[in-house]
Amino acid sequence: MIRPSTRGRGDILRIVRQFGVDGITQEHIERVFIRAGRISAMNRLEEDLLYLSEKGYLARVLAKDPFSGVERWILHITPKGIDLLDEIIDPDPGVEIVC
């Protein structure tokens, strides 16, 4: 199975940032990586998302869809995550930022 590298974590941050204040579902991020051949359907990004949220780069919010009633994790980039991408704060060796 292909595992996202430290670069994968930077890619996750970039994708989440593109979706702005509304955020993006965890399932959507996983589908992006599956379609790109970066992970398999059996291999989820949970470890990488946990790393990014524990470091304060991502906020994960469990939200209920108002139409379907299904609960999903919604990902939002934090100001610290934006600062990391913009190289305003010191680099994190666990997150590769490729311009």
Domain boundaries, the chain: 6-78
> Average pLDDT for residues 49-73, to the nearest whole number?
92
Rounded Cα gap, residues 51 and 1, in angstroms: 20
pLDDT of residue 2: 42
pLDDT of residue 5: 62
Rounded Cα gap, residues 91 and 34, in angstroms: 27
Instruction: Report the percent of the chain where pLDDT is more than 90.
Output: 57
pLDDT of residue 6: 66
> Average pLDDT for residues 61-69, to the nearest whole number?
89
Q: Give domain 6-78's CATH number out of 1.10.10.10, 1.10.357.10, 1.10.10.60, 3.40.190.10.
A: 1.10.10.10
Its pTM stands at: 0.84
